[in-house]
Structure 1
């Protein structure tokens, strides 16, 4: 069968190197399933993979995309655990293609009752927020979290989950006028301008308690000020570097306040965790989506044939949500 796939044969700007290739796909063999793209989400890491700057780079030519869900259209001999019409997570290395062949036993089922867009976004950002609040210190109801890039998808998930668990959040954003009301509607306790000396008002906001956990995905001066906002023995976790600047720290706070600096990469956690731990977490995340605790915003939808335009939209600033790429391939 003939399919289209959004691929890159070299690294570079997505607008320059992405192209829609026509490929021939065989029928599923023993133990295989044919899965059609239904919805995929674009992340900054997708841009980094195409650009050659993110994580473990793929063998070229490579299919673009990292996260999405598809529908099982056919199964090969011997496949018992999947049925036609099942919704599954797309293999991470073959997302933005009309369809793909995959080992049926390796495919992760995705709940059919979740809205399609939310199902497509359920595997990276919500689990990252879940792990950030789960793995770094024993947070108790009433504790404070401070995070930069609070309007990002992970930031919004952190706000929702923190509120659900009785935790308070101080949220840093560059465009405070735009994001104060939306973030507070999600459950944010305070929204401050990242460029200001926000650490000077943290005492007042928290009643002198300061923050037990700091979440940094920006770097540069932002994390320096964040560290100054931390309670004694507080933990600052860096899981991104949006501005590209080095993470620096005020020596005084590290020494006298015993501040702990950690790093986190969701991909590493997923590789190191066993199937039981991954399944337990994903089940919890799916339930939180059902409850509306995680409710990620979407700005635009593009068909796969317009995938290059989708990447251009994902690169542009000022969006209020994620870019979703959809597929309608059928036999």
Structure 2
């Protein structure tokens, strides 16, 4: 059976009386947020048979031999009584793809397991699928620590997957990304050792990447008698229907006008756009754009095949920030 709870009181020197009452709780929480953590979901089955689960970022390892882990649970948590009574629980380390799962298990007053297919572990604890790691534990000790219950678990079984993990930093979900040892010195096998890429200049890197994307999309454009400028224009008209050419160019933010009268006249002649006070797609134009976007997505997916999910997501986020920075 789980060990009984016992209170552990901090040891204070007589020469240094406690002064924690002067600490601002909000500022303290923000300071703690400077330390990045992983994101986990703890699950168990209550004595009455209900499945219990909650999102936790206080998970940590204690010992390898014996294998012990710990986490803390707020005394005010609705699941406090359940974890007081049970003998087993499971830890799920979430992947970068599972942010929705983290949010679900942090949302009060909902059935957090609704629609989820779960497996069962020791003690009938519910096990979530496709996590980066899972640990099924027996509760070894419970301690009271301030306004939290500290739970120490002995790991009875575990499994893991090679997946980027979800992180938590500064009160927000984050991505954990492996830092290059020498970020300014690509490996010899990077891009086939191409000298232009080895220079590591941003304009070169973006330019080469863009040309590769365009070259792979070109056959799909040429098959419809279209070019790169036509594709840009169809995309802008599809996103901002009813705008005139001047407004579309302003939204793009380039010095050079890409949405020109010649391009619009040609697309109108092909029956892809309708010209009036503003420019809009025809039914044929919408169909062609939908097909091209699917083909462009396929090209993008192939280009990102060498990146994991977190790297691809990070790449998109950084490129958006770069664009906003240059346009600002």
With normalisation by structure 1, the TM-score equals 0.25
Higher fraction of helix:
2
Q: Which has the larger radius of gyration?
A: 2
With normalisation by structure 2, the TM-score equals 0.25
Q: Could you say which structure has the greater relative contact order, defined with CA pairs below 8 angstroms and 6 or more residues apart?
A: 1
